Structures are given as C-alpha cells and as structure tokens.
Amino acid sequence: MNACRKILAAVILSGLAANVFSATETTAKTKVLEGTQGYRDEINRPPEPYTGPPRSGEQVYAYRCAACHAKTTQGAPMPGDDIEWGLRAKQGMKVLMQHTIEGYKQLLMPPRGGCGNCSDAELKAAVVYMLEKSGVKPPP
C-alpha cells in the first residue's frame, strides 16, 4: 500500500472510528450499524460533486497532486524536475492524460490523480502546471 493510501486510511479511520462502532438496537435481537461500515465503504464512496468555478492547474495541484508530487512519493516527479517531466512529455499529452485519468503502475498514481471530483479539463490544467513549473513545454 503506498504512502498516500496509508495516510488516507489513517485520516478516514481516525475521523470515523466513532461511527463504525455506534450501533443502535432496533429489536432485542438485531443491531443496525449507523454511519460508515469502514475503510472500504469510504474509499468506494463517490466523491462529493464540486460545484464551484473551474479550478486552475495550480489549485488542483495544491488540492490533490501535491500530496505525492511535492515529495517524490513512489517516484512521482516533482514540479521543477525537468528531466523526469521531459521524459514524460515525450510520450505526448494523450498518454499523460491517460495515466492521469486511469491511474498508472498498479495505482501508484491513483485514477484521476486522486481527485474524483475534478473535471478532465482541471486534471489537464494540473498536468500542464507541473510541466510548466519544470520548464517543459506541454506536448500537443
């Protein structure tokens, strides 16, 4: 399990531990759990829809991407690393976006970069932001 998922699991479990164990008796023989059923329910829950104005690449980077890309977690290239981002840019924007949207390398890069409520345009803006911060021209 990668570092991002471990952190996410710890945050989810610490914030929801009270709900996991709260039970209410509906009858003398049956108990019904209220709230979450645990980590799997939370990780598979659809994200809250984002209803604000479109976010910039810098905003999406700060919101989700920086969790891994600000510290080279599991090989995630940092903005400013012209060599690593240059190699990725040579693959073309289509491949970069495919990896961003679908995830990459057995989920070391999670689908949609971990931002389930980001639009494709916002995700592309984040990729372009990291490329430009690295001094790499975004591919066509």
pLDDT tens-digit readout, 51-89: 999 999 999 999 999 999 999 778 899 999 999 999 999
Clarify whether residues 71 and 136 are in a common domain: yes
Residue environment code for 3-41, b if the CB has 16+ CB neighbours within 10 A, otherwise e: ebeeebeeebeeebeeebeeeeeeeeeeeeeeebeebee
Clarify whether residues 71 and 17 are in a common domain: no
The structure tokens 């976006």 sit at 97
Question: What pLDDT was estimated at residue 76?
Answer: 92
Clarify whether residues 76 and 136 are in a common domain: yes
Residue 50 lies in a domain: no
Which residue segment(s) compose the domain that 21 sits in?
1-45
Question: What pLDDT was estimated at residue 52?
Answer: 93
Tell me how many domains the chain contains: 2
End-to-end CA distance of the chain: 34
Q: Name the stretches of the chain with pLDDT < 50.
A: 16-26
Round to whole Å and give the CA distance between 58 and 126. 6
Clarify whether residues 34 and 93 are in a common domain: no
Residue 40 lies in a domain: yes
Clarify whether residues 67 and 2 are in a common domain: no
Clarify whether residues 28 and 89 are in a common domain: no
Question: What pLDDT was estimated at residue 24?
Answer: 46
Question: What pLDDT was estimated at residue 75?
Answer: 85
Question: What pLDDT was estimated at residue 23?
Answer: 45
Clarify whether residues 128 and 62 are in a common domain: yes
